[in-house]
Structure 1
Amino acid sequence: MNTSPASDRNLQGITGCLSDYDPEALKVQQAQDIMREYIQPVCGMEKLTIRQALGRVLATDIISPINVPAHDNSAMDGYALRGDDLVDVQKLSLEIIGTALAGAAFMGAVMHNQCVRIMTGAVMPAGCDTVVPQEFTSKISDTQVKLSAGNLHAGDNRRLKGEDLAIGKVAIRKGKILSPADLGLLASLGIPEITVQRRLRVAIFSTGDELRSLGEALEAGCVYDSNRYTLYGMLTRMGCDVLDMGVVRDNPEALEAAMRSACENADAIITSGGVSVGDADHTRQMMHRLGDVAFWSIAMRPGRPMAFGKITSAGKSAYLFGLPGNPVAVMVSFYFFARQALQQLMGADVPPLPLFNVKSNADIRKRPGRTEYQRGILAMRNDGEPGVSITGSQGSGILRSMSEANCMIILHHDQGSIAAGEKVSILPFEGLI
């Protein structure tokens, strides 16, 4: 694909570079590539204490102001000695001249055939470059210890100054979504505050005359809207600020008003329903009216009707993800398309989701020519290997199947039916859903 900056090109310019571009049957990888090339991160930063920064996107590189560790120190409890005292003999006897504790260094100098009792993390005494573990020694008296020289080499069990992180080096790169370990690393460097990207604002609404919100009466032919609640949960878990605009009725005027309001108040908009080819499905037409549309159908199941583009209102613009209306299709299209796009919009540097290959416990029917996502349960088989089974009926309206599943089975575009025992790609839900 053309890699010129998206800011210099519109969606038509990007899609025009695809030789086999078909907006009504785009391959999964093509759709993901279009999003990746087009989306640009939002501007805006804020300074937070590290206690507030968990899950936020780092806006600038963190440069280490100190060496970690700050001094050569011991990697274990034992005795610090001079490496050149190790000779090719069975036993070596050393004089104990002091003790070094973490936070309380031994201040004297260590001469030949002398050692210092040392604890893990304590600064290495002057002249010492080696630590013998306590279990490889036998104490002769309070002032003398014997060790087996054959178990040790000069420089063993010593952590060097700056070994973990040298002063002036990058400790954490911008774009990282900060984890608990990152907070600990920042604290270890004495850094109390950092600059992060501002939170992403995402507007959501569902479309359909048959939808009712919780608390409303459920007339014949109507259903409760579940999509806004799954979207709210997924977006909240990503650290987004969510603007829930409720249910929008199936008429162009109401949809245009909702899209314009969302566009003027959010960085991205996620709709569910209204992107197929029915007479009352107006989302795609409204996207064309208000902006650019890259595609509106993907060769996948579930989730084939999905639109992506950018709309503008009152001088403001927002990326728009028009997801299908069926509950499972909403979750699938969110996790395999919208999630990574939103992370890019946040300014996060996130690699593709890791897939694992495991054995299928049963036959799975599949025809080539589309990517299929099936709900699966991953567990250990009787042969001691991991195996996966589908959750039963794979209808895109069966939300219970997503609740029961612990992984997604991915059957790739050119792949055919799977025989029992054959390996398939899976994406575990832990940490994702």
Structure 2
Amino acid sequence: MLTVEQALQTLLGVVRPIQDVEEVETLIGNGRVLASAMTSSMDVPPRDNAQMDGYAVRATDCQDGNVLLPISQRIPAGYTGVTLQQNTAARIFTGAFLPDGADAVVMQEQCSVEDSNGQTMVRIRHQPQTGEWIRRKGEDISMGATLLEAGTRLRPQELGLAASVGLAKLTVVRRLRVAIFFTGDELTMPGETLKPGAIYNSNRFLLTALLQNLGCEITDYGNVSDNLADTRKILREAAIRHDLILTSGGVSVGEEDYIRPAVAAEGNISMWQIAMKPGKPLAFGEIRRTDSNLDTAFFLGLPGNPVSSFVTFLLFVRPFLLRLQGVRDINPIRIRVRADFNWSKADKRNEFLRVRMNQNGGLDLFHNQGSGVLTSTVWGDGLVDVAPGCTIQAGDVIDYLPFHALMY
């Protein structure tokens, strides 16, 4: 059996990132992957501007900390003022461009408006320093700067950054095309009558939603009967137009498990057992699209138990899909958190326990860690990574992998 790290490195070592790109509007780019670096054609801010509401002045005109100046102009955001004359002040608002001649902004709380012989004046009760309350031109972004590297997965903040430099469209990697199907004559869809010995196909819903979270285009071939010929037929058909074929069930060594021989017949299997719990059986290989072994679709076969399928997707399928899109940073977030439970069952395999963070900042353990107990994934908010042969005592600081960082 391979270790978790060996299995993951084997997967990532054979990835061929897709090269097809497309242009999308920035407004709908959430979750997409940049195909080329994003550079700025402008400074942000484009000019010096006011950091808050107040009065734009020449600092040298306010050296005594109590001066009365005429208000020469009013500059709201979106408007450009005229050159500020010596010994005058300009009423200015947050974000408005600083007029030429001004070199400081005095916040309005340090000023008061007065009338002097019919003229509106402002009393400056502060001695400003040059540059005070001013956002300098280009202090956020300078013209020509690289904002984001190719392989960046776009989140709302990256889209906001692109919009801040006027980018209406972005060049991104096309969406991944993933085919899914499920094996097992016992599988039944919700809404259908559950016959004796049958179970509802929860993995179909679980894996579809996880793929949707990663922005994949999904073709669902549904349930495939437990026979070799049908499994091979679906593999051939799915390989033609998909980047990855993902299955659930049938990857063990039983007489009714047909995934392994079917993949071997239509391509090759590179690995299929990992020293982990849950999720020991995992198939990886490639399916020929043509008679040439150089033109293939990737294949990943997950175990049938729902928790095993869920955990192996998070730890292997997700990083594999991200790397297929050219994403640079695929390492899961690991947080060092205190355990508020004991785990004395050391195992020779790498275990991933379902836990939940409590109000005291520690981790609680779900009472049943079975690979078929899907409620543990709903109750929990993450996994604890337990190395082979290790136990946990309450108070130990351990590696916690939050679900929210593994599902998108």
Q: Calculate the TM-score normalised by the size of structure 1.
A: 0.86
- C-alpha separation in 2, matches of 1:138 and 1:368: 73
**Residue pairs, 1:146-185, within 5 angstroms:** 146-149=124-127, 152-185=128-161
Asked if 2 retains the 8 angstrom alpha-carbon contact of 1:359 and 1:387, the reply is yes
Distance in structure 2 (CA, Å) of the matches to 1:62 and 1:423: 40
Using the TM superposition, give the Cα deviation of residue 138 of structure 1 relative to its aligned residue in structure 2, in angstroms: 4.0
Name the counterpart of 1:387: 362
Q: CA deviation at 1:308?
A: 1.6
| Selected match of 1:397 from 369, 372, 385 | 372
- Residue in structure 1 matched with residue 385 of structure 2 by the alignment: 410
Please list the CA deviations of residues 148-202 of structure 1 after superposition, one character each: whole Å capped at 9, or x if unmatched: 22xx432121111122112222233322222223333333323222222111110
Question: What is the aligned partner in structure 2 of residue 6 from structure 1?
Answer: none
Cα distance between partner residues in 1 of 2:347 and 2:248: 27
Tell me, yes or no, if the aligned pair for 2:333 and 2:405 is still in contact at 8 Å.
no
1:122 and 2:88 matched: no
Aligned-partner Cα distance in 1 for 2:140–2:270: 46
Identity value in percent:
37
Q: Conserved in 1, the CA contact under 8 Å of 2:307 and 2:377?
A: yes
Unaligned runs of 5+ in 2: none
Amino acid at match of 2:340: N
The residue number in structure 2 matching 1:243 is: 219
2:329 is matched with 350
1:54-111, Cα deviation, whole Å (9 max, x unpaired): 2222222222222211111111111222244464x55455443322221122213332
Residue of structure 2 equivalent to 1:145: 123
1:372 aligned residue = 351
Partner AA of 1:392 in structure 2: H
Distance 2:300 2:241 in 1: 16
Q: 1:105 aligns with which of 58, 61, 80?
A: 80
Distance 1:412 1:83, change over 3 A: farther
Structure 2 distance, partners of 1:412, 1:81, is: 64
- Output the TM-score relative to the length of structure 2: 0.91
Q: Measure the CA separation in 1 of the matches of 2:353 and 2:109.
A: 54
Other-structure match for 2:109: 135
1:372-393 Cα shifts (integer Å, max 9, x gaps): 1111121212xxxx11112221
Mapped contact 2:111–2:122 kept (Cα < 8 A): no
Task: Please list, as runs of the form range in 1=range in 2, the aligned pairs for 1:23-62 lying within 5 A after superposition.
Answer: 25-62=1-38
SS at match of 1:375: strand
Q: Is 2:339 the counterpart of 1:360?
A: yes
What are the residue-to-residue correspondences of 1:319-358 with 2, within 5 Å? 319-358=298-337
| Matches for 1:267-306 after TM superposition, within 5 Å | 267-306=243-282
Match of 2:40 in 1: 64
C-alpha separation between the residues in 2 aligned to 1:347 and 1:305?
27
CA distance in 1, matches of 2:347, 2:273: 17
Three-state SS of the structure 2 residue aligned to 1:71 is coil
Q: How many residues align?
A: 400
The Cα shift of 1:250 comes to 2.3
Query: RMSD in angstroms over aligned alpha carbons?
Result: 2.1
Gaps of 5+ in 1: 1-24
- SS of the residue corresponding to residue 353 of structure 2 reads strand
User: Aligned residue for 2:399?
Assistant: 425
AA in 1 matched with 2:261: Q
Deviates more, 1:61-70 or 1:194-203: 61-70
Q: Given the alignment, which residue of 175, 183, 190 partners 2:166?
A: 190
Alpha carbons 1:110, 1:126 under 8 Å: kept: no
Single out whichever of 271-280 and 174-183 deviates more from structure 2: 174-183
2:189 alignment counterpart: 213
